Amino acid sequence: MLFWILVAVLTAAVAAILLYPLLRGAKAAEDTRAGEVAVYRDQLRELDRDVSGGLITADEADYARAEIGRRLIAVSGAAPAEESKPARHHRLTEVFIVLILPIIGLCLYINTGRPDLPSQPLEARLANPGNDMAVLVAKAERHLAEKPGDGKGWDVLAPIYFSTMRVSDAETAYRNAIRLLGPSPARLDGLAETLMAMSEGVVTEDARKALEQSLTLEPNNPRARFYIALSLEQAGQPDQARGAFEALAKQSPADAPWLPLVNEHIAKNGGAAVAPAAEPAAQPPALGGPTEQDVAAAETMNSGDRQQMIRTMVESLDAKLTADPNNFEGWMRLVRSYAVLNDKDRAADALKRGLAAFPASGDQGRQLLALAREFGIATEGSVATEGSVE
């Protein structure tokens, strides 16, 4: 009840503010006309005094009296008739403001709002964010403001910032994650893509250094190799760029999603399309990151639609890994994504399936388990068949 009382008071206040200029304008017009009438009547009396004093002749007085009378009639008689239409217009405007505008606003609120939803302060929403991605991000940002040394928090926020085109925040998050958790191909590639987004697609010197460091950790990383070849093309070195693109194409699986783009750049640098290797690469991670269409869509979405889009992308990654589980970086991203979405059950299931492809006794399996422990995901059932890894 208190809410509706406040709404009524605010509506009345807004209506009064909007009506005041109209009412004030009508009163000002009436005062102006009354003043003009008084002036003309004073001029008529002044003419009588001038004739009595011999200042003007009777003929001159009659001529002046006729002119003043004409003006007096125009002000006192014709003006109200001419302004009757604006007056009616003002009345219609007043009715619209007082009655129709509040009704339209109320209907819109009932149709698109949630009058049944109880008030929930920001503190309460942060405490129980559910699946609201915007609140989860706000909660993570508040946590990092208090504990900036939490590397896993920066690692989680970095790709989210990038997907919503908050590139300057993404750069800061990637650099903090690398500084606190150490470099990894995913973090270094993400940093490079962020730097490229900030420079409108140009592979800058800092981006190239990050990509080269990524290749030292994972020499067959197609994403880093593609961008380094692109940097050679942008630097005006077509022969070197063509050679780098051809080498990437030859070592790519036949169904690699980046292969058509690689062949386009080969042709652009004066070469012919290269057939991929018959055998797929051992661990072919996708070039990664959202597409330009995904980024453009995210910019215009509200928090609910953006969250749905992110879930769709995560489910798409899940389906790809189900079809081709030999993608270690993909499993790392999937587990991390489900953890960020606060879906611990699916995160645990993704961990279990990832460990089936990369056993816990190996280095990659241990990395999956370490990631799960960072996010508080149960690992006991996932490694039951693999034995202890300590």
| Confidence grade of residue 365 (pLDDT, cut at 50, 70, 90) | confident
The per-residue pLDDT for range 197-236, each reduced to its tens digit, is 999 889 999 999 999 999 999 988 999 999 999 999 999 9
The per-residue pLDDT for range 77-111, each reduced to its tens digit, is 544 444 444 555 556 666 666 667 777 777 777 77
Q: Tell which wins on pLDDT, 386 or 121.
A: 121
The per-residue pLDDT for range 297-312, each reduced to its tens digit, is 554 555 555 566 677 7
Q: What is the pLDDT of residue 288?
A: 45
Most confident of the ranges 25-29, 113-117, 285-289: 113-117
Q: Is the confidence at residue 159, as pLDDT, over 70?
A: yes
Q: Which 3-state string (H, E, C) describes the chain?
A: CHHHHHHHHHHHHHHHHHHHHHHHHHHHHHHHHHHHHHHHHHHHHHHHHHHHCCCCCHHHHHHHHHHHHHHHHHHHHHHHHHCHHHHHHHHHHHHHHHHHHHHHHHHHHHHHCCCCCCCCCHHHHHHCCCCCHHHHHHHHHHHHHHCCCCHHHHHHHHHHHHHCCCHHHHHHHHHHHHHHHCCCHHHHHHHHHHHHHHCCCCCCHHHHHHHHHHHHHCCCCHHHHHHHHHHHHHCCCHHHHHHHHHHHHHCCCCCCCCHHHHHHHHHHCCCCCCCCCCCCCCCCCCCCCCCHHHHHHHHCCCHHHHHHHHHHHHHHHHHHHHHCCCCHHHHHHHHHHHHHCCCHHHHHHHHHHHHHHCCCCCHHHHHHHHHHHHCCCCCCHHHCCCCCCC
Task: Please tell me the least confidently modeled range out of 38-47, 73-82, 175-184, 266-275.
Answer: 73-82
Share of the chain above pLDDT 70, in %: 70
> Which pTM was predicted?
0.44
| Confidence grade of residue 381 (pLDDT, cut at 50, 70, 90) | low
The per-residue pLDDT for range 267-293, each reduced to its tens digit, is 888 888 776 554 444 444 443 444 445
Calculate mean pLDDT across residues 192-199: 91
Q: Tell which wins on pLDDT, 271 or 31.
A: 271
Q: What is the mean pLDDT of the chain?
A: 76
Calculate mean pLDDT across residues 152-161: 85
Most confident of the ranges 43-52, 261-270, 275-284: 261-270
